[in-house]
Structure 1
Amino acid sequence: MPPFLQQADALPHLPLFLTVRGRACVLVGGGDATAPKFELLRRAGAAVRLVGADPTFAETAAGAEVLPGPLKAEHLAGACLVIDASGDDRTNERSAALARAAGVPLNVVDRPALCDFILPAILDRSPVVVAVSTGGAAPALAGLIRQELEALIPPGLGRLAALSGTLRDEIRRRIADPARRLAFWRRLYRDGATDRALALDLMDQVAAARPSVGSLTRIAVGPGGEQDLTLRQVAALRRADLLLVEDGVDPAVLDHARRDAPRRGPVRTPAEAAALRDDLGRGLQVVQLVAASVLQSTVMLAAE
């Protein structure tokens, strides 16, 4: 691990979404997990090579290339990944050895020590897909979290996301200012409009409206760090377009903010104050994080 990366910052896995449509994916079958793994690969559009599966299941695996077991090196030719759902220890070890030799990423069901990648619990609101992982330590917990999210994310969100994809070029053409584009997306998602005509009407309203005034929210973080945050403060962090972070603030507090929200240091110079006024004038939601022990105050815009 690089010396500049603290252990607390380390991720157990790199979160990503892999395109497998039309690509060969090897599924070593035989166990109870074979059917759900096959269905997952099928829905992702993979060209599935099913190796060593129960003949009864193999007959129902429409579209798969069915091959007899055990797994062989030639089965991995051109494959982008391997999933071993056999549930057999000896088969698992064989899959691991062959996959390593071929340089093909491997997942072994319920054997995290043999895995190059893991398959998270998935909430599907296509094209919105939420993946929840515990790093293989507690799959049941990941499943429970997914169930909680199902109640929070309505099925119609997928249709709204699909509509958004058709509007991206149009909104860039009609609304040049990034802050005003963000205001449009926020109103669209808040109102939940799934009709293109209504969305375009909303776009015209946002384009013609005067720029909204931004806000500056100051949060003093106590010695308890993120544990001292109120629900209102957490909500402000989640809405923030820009963070001003003073020295001494618990880094865990930043985990509650959007990852794409820029982070800056405290405002100390007239030029930095002018830049902040410009950000607020463009309608940005700014949150200033100050450690409770820090006595110095930042530039007060109201006094300008």
Structure 2
Amino acid sequence: MPPSLPQADALPHLPVFLTVRGRVCVLVGGGDATPPKFELLRRAGAAIRLVGADPAFAETAEAAEILPGPLAAHHLAGACLVIDASGDLDTNNRSAALARAAGVPLNVVDRPALCDFILPAILDRSPIVVAISTGGAAPAVAGLIRQELEALIPPGLGRLAALSGTLREEIRRRIADPARRLAFWRRLYRDGAADRATALDLLDQVATERPTVGALTRIVLGPGGEQDLTLRQAAALRRADLLLVEDGVDPAVLDHARRDTPRRPPVRSAAEAAALREELGRGLQVVQLVAEESQSLAPRLAAE
């Protein structure tokens, strides 16, 4: 078995988006959380098996299989997950025992110790969905973060994402270079194209225009590491397509860049310098991170 990570580096949960459309999801009802969990499963297209729900709510639960409680082993047949929204501790413990025995993942509302998975706070801009989790420690904080993001991610962005999905193959065919494709996506996001014709016009522009020259940004970090970052430097890290990282750079600084941004040691040879100039010529945004007085060939590229 691989060695376990230090607690500070370990994720409390594996972030996943699970396809439940057309699959059986068991919802144990009875508590105040039943209606919102039912609605969440309904919007995800699940085949909902509602067990032990309040009769008044069960009458309104359209397109669901309604079964009397308490939860029993046969209720879990063919299920891909169980959510217990009963709010009753005895029912919660019964659900946990039955779900474990059946090997079906379980979520118990407000009882993280009984959960195999959690349901994060969700910002829905379908097909863009943002999930925010505190690992079950502070759901209210996750909800507050979601409210902040709602102001930053406008509802129309979902329509833009849906439009983008219809253009992916056309974009790949017209623009072979990944860096230029990324430039197109950035401009599409910035301009917020409202329809296919506008997006295709923008694609024509990007496909035919001369590539924008990239930029090399050098960030020298003092003893404070992450604490020394300015807002401008943090923004450059978020935009970076490539990071050149010196030894001794505070690892926390790297958290300000995208997780998928490639990381390489700094330029040490003429061949590496030539390769970097080529990447800059393709429009890549490169950030070099330097610890204190460390030097490399990269800052002298512009002069060569």
Letter in 2 for 1:149: L
Residues in 2 aligned to 1:296 and 1:208: alpha-carbon distance in whole angstroms: 38
Would you say 1:286 and 2:295 are equivalent positions?
no
Residue aligning to 1:171: 171
Unaligned stretches of 5+ in structure 1?
Answer: none
> Counterpart in 1 of 2:101?
101
| Aligned twin of 2:13 | 13
Alpha-carbon separation, structure 1, partners of 2:59 and 2:230: 56
Question: Contact 2:20–2:46 (CA<8 Å) still a contact in 1?
Answer: yes
Output the CA distance in 2 between the equivalents of 1:7 and 1:168. 40
Moved more, 48-57 or 178-187: 178-187
Compared CA separation, residues 193 and 139, structure 1 to 2 (3 A): same
How many Å separate the matches in 2 of 1:140 and 1:4?
30
Aligned length: 303
Q: Distance in 2 between matches of 1:152 and 1:79?
A: 37
CA distance in 2, matches of 1:177, 1:105: 42
Partner in structure 2 of residue 35 of structure 1: 35
Match of 1:144 in 2: 144
Residue of structure 2 equivalent to 1:133: 133
Q: Any gaps of 5 or more consecutive residues in structure 2?
A: none
Tell me the distance in 2 between the aligned counterparts of 1:4 and 1:22.
Answer: 36
Aligned-pair RMSD on alpha carbons?
A: 1.2
Q: How does 1:151-170 map to 2 (within 5 A)?
A: 151-170=151-170
Deviation at 1:98, TM superposition (A): 0.6
Q: Shift of the alpha carbon at 1:252?
A: 1.1
What is the alpha-carbon distance in structure 2 between the residues aligned to residue 221 and residue 163 of structure 1?
41
Query: Equivalent residue for 2:61?
Result: 61
Shift of 1:296: 2.9
- What percentage of aligned pairs have identical amino acids? 86
Q: CA deviation at 1:226?
A: 1.6
Q: Match of 2:51? A: 51
Q: Is the 8 A contact 2:42 2:48 kept in 1?
A: yes
CA distance in 1, matches of 2:30, 2:224: 51
Offset from partner CA, 1:148-196 (integer Å, 9 cap, x none): 1111110100010001001101111111111111111111111111211
Structure 1 consecutive aligned stretches of length 4 or more whose deviation exceeds 6 Å: none
Q: Determine the structure 2 residue equivalent to 1:295.
A: 294
Instruction: After TM superposition, list the pairs within 5 Å mapping 1:208-227 onto structure 2.
Output: 208-227=208-227
Deviations 1:197-242 (A, max 9, x none): 1111111111110111000001112222222211101110110000
d(CA) in 2 for partners of 1:285, 1:206? 17
Q: CA deviation at 1:4?
A: 7.0
TM-score, length-normalised on structure 1? 0.97
> Which residue pairs with 2:182 in the alignment?
182
- Read off the aligned partner of 1:295 and give its amino acid letter: S
